[in-house]
């Protein structure tokens, strides 16, 4: 299934001012930049301007320009300059956008099923083909549809009739390699996807052999490699941020309680290494095997040992000082919900020890857990997007998700980066037709998107910007 859709956009790119590391900034961003610097000039970038168009639609009473008018777009690194017909042109874009979105709203869900085989036509000079390599069938088809929906909304906001989306179904991973070969055959320039880590690892060698870069939606650093980026919220980066926050508040007796699965051990290993970079070691760490988690008596015994619990003295009811002053629970939500009440029973709850949690803790079931109230949690800083949320809800009859926003951001940064590179080549009379994606996407000033502000790094990882929140009365509060 292919989609070649003409769209409109006005983009601007300007550098972001630098700021020194603060206690509540990610420690890994040693000399990073912040889009939230108070008292300093606020700047925009290529993805942020697309969001601005969604958040600030043109006035409905604007006069409509006749078809065929050009929309002014910005060259790379410069702000767009609108002439006296800008309002009229934006109104035309809005009218076209509404018509396109209406088509999307009315299309049958079956259109997202496994795409039929096709032979892509010959690609002309300057054409951009973006492969969307996602699960469009199977158990995870809903996730693929969310990402595709976000990408399509961005497509309608962008100004390049030569840009096309081509869909490749990974079926949740079972045909990821086949999808990658189909993408090569279709002469795509860059791939958005896959979604899952194993699929991203499987296809990267295939794509790299044809010099096709990819932006995966994975949040696993193992899926990252030069030219193959991950766009998800990396838990390791969040652990860095949390540890920086705790240590800045003189919490240096940090314990780690981990599950034995891959995710738990991944966080445990990273937290230990990161503490070492601070000149510290974990005050205590323990892995809880699944049989221990499944047996109540065994779990209580293990947690009692971990907390160094001592029964209160009847003659002196005052509780002794806890053995640790901060705690990382390294595991998935089920693990956290299993061990947190037991920790509280043994007097190691957030009122006495600083609990440190990633954005996984923002799930409703964890927010409502009494034994987690008072925990410190980190989340990516995201812009308010009420118009986008309302538009997506009305179009797809469901709320947005982080995958929708990442799909939007991934497409937006690819398409506008392509536009900027084309403009730069024209201005400099450069003959070369292909884009150096690594040079174009790895930008010191980064990108601002619906999913938050981020930089793509040379090693394939991303750098996001986080803020600290506290869980109070079942809600996350910025303090």
Domains in the chain, start-ordered, CATH in brackets? 235-380+468-478 (3.40.50.2300)
Q: What's the pLDDT score for residue 96?
A: 44
pTM equals 0.74
**CA-atom Rg of the chain in angstroms:** 25
Neighbours of 226 (CB within 10 A): 14
Buried residues in 112-124 as b, exposed as e (16+ CB within 10 A): beebeeeeeeeee
Task: Give the pLDDT score at 119.
Answer: 63
- Give 420's Cβ-side CA count (13 Å radius): 25
pLDDT attached to residue 429: 53
pLDDT at res. 454:
94
306 backbone dihedrals φ, ψ, rounded to 5°: -65, -40
**Cα separation, 287 vs 217, whole angstroms:** 29
- List the pLDDT tens digit at each of the 479 positions of the chain: 333 232 322 222 322 233 332 334 333 322 223 333 333 333 334 455 555 444 444 433 322 223 222 222 222 222 222 333 333 334 444 444 454 444 444 444 444 444 455 566 777 777 889 999 999 999 999 999 999 999 988 888 775 678 889 999 999 888 999 999 999 999 999 999 999 999 999 999 999 999 999 999 999 999 999 999 999 999 999 999 999 999 999 999 999 999 999 999 999 999 999 999 999 999 999 999 999 999 999 999 999 999 999 887 777 777 788 899 999 999 999 999 999 999 999 999 999 999 999 999 999 999 999 999 999 999 999 898 899 998 888 888 888 999 999 999 999 999 888 877 777 766 665 555 678 888 889 988 889 999 999 999 999 999 999 999 999 999 999 97
Is residue 338 a contact partner of residue 444, using CB atoms and an 8 Å limit? no
Residue 193 is classified by DSSP as -
DSSP 289: -
- Residue 241 has a pLDDT of 95
Q: Are the beta carbons of 47 and 11 closer than 8 angstroms?
A: no
Within 186-227, where are the H helices?
A: 197-209
CB half-sphere exposure, 323, CA atoms < 13 A: 16
- Is residue 93 within 8 A of residue 58, CB to CB? The reply is yes
Q: 214-216 and 190-192: which strand pairing?
A: parallel
């Amino acid at each position: 299934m292919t989609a070649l859709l003409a769209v409109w956009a006005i983009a601007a790119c300007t550098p972001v001012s630098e700021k020194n590391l603060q206690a509540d900034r990610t420690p890994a961003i040693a000399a990073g930049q912040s889009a939230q610097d108070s008292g300093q000039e606020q700047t925009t970038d290529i993805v942020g301007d697309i969001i601005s168009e969604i958040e600030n639609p043109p006035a409905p009473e604007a006069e409509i320009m006749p078809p065929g008018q050009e929309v002014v777009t910005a060259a790379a690194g410069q702000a767009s300059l609108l002439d006296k017909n800008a309002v009229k042109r934006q109104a035309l874009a809005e009218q076209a956008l509404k018509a396109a979105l209406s088509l999307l709203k009315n299309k049958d869900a079956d259109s997202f099923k496994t795409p039929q085989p096709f032979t892509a036509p010959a690609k002309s000079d300057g054409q951009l083909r973006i492969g969307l390599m996602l699960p469009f069938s199977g158990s995870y088809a809903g996730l693929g549809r969310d990402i595709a929906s976000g990408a399509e909304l961005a497509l309608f906001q962008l100004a390049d009739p030569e840009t096309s989306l081509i869909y490749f179904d990974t079926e949740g991973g079972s045909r990821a390699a086949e999808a990658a070969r189909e993408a090569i055959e279709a002469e795509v320039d860059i791939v958005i996807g896959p979604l899952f880590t194993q699929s991203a690892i499987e296809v990267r060698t295939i794509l790299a052999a044809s010099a096709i870069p990819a932006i995966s939606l994975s949040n696993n650093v193992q899926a990252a490699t030069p030219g193959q980026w991950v766009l998800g919220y990396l838990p390791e980066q969040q652990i860095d941020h949390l540890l920086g926050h705790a240590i800045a508040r003189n919490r240096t007796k940090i314990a780690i309680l981990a599950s034995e699965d891959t995710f738990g051990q991944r966080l445990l290993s990273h937290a230990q290494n990161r503490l070492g970079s601070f000149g510290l070691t974990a005050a205590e760490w323990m892995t809880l095997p699944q049989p221990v988690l499944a047996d109540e008596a065994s779990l209580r015994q293990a947690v009692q040992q971990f907390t160094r619990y001592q029964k209160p003295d009847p003659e002196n009811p005052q509780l002794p000082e806890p053995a640790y002053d901060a705690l990382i629970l390294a595991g998935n939500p089920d693990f956290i919900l299993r061990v947190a009440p037991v920790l509280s029973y043994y007097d190691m709850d957030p009122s006495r020890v600083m609990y440190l949690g990633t954005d996984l803790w923002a799930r409703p079931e964890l927010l409502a857990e009494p034994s987690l109230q008072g925990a410190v949690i980190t989340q990516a800083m995201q812009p308010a997007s009420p118009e986008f949320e309302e538009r997506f809800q009305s179009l797809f009859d469901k709320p947005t998700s982080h995958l929708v926003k990442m799909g939007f951001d991934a497409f937006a940064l690819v398409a506008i980066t392509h536009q900027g590179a084309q403009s730069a080549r024209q201005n400099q009379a450069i003959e070369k037709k292909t884009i150096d994606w690594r040079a174009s996407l790895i930008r010191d000033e980064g990108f601002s998107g619906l999913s938050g502000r981020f930089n793509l790094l040379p090693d394939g990882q991303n750098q996001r910007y986080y803020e600290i929140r506290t869980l109070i009365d079942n809600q996350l509060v910025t303090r």
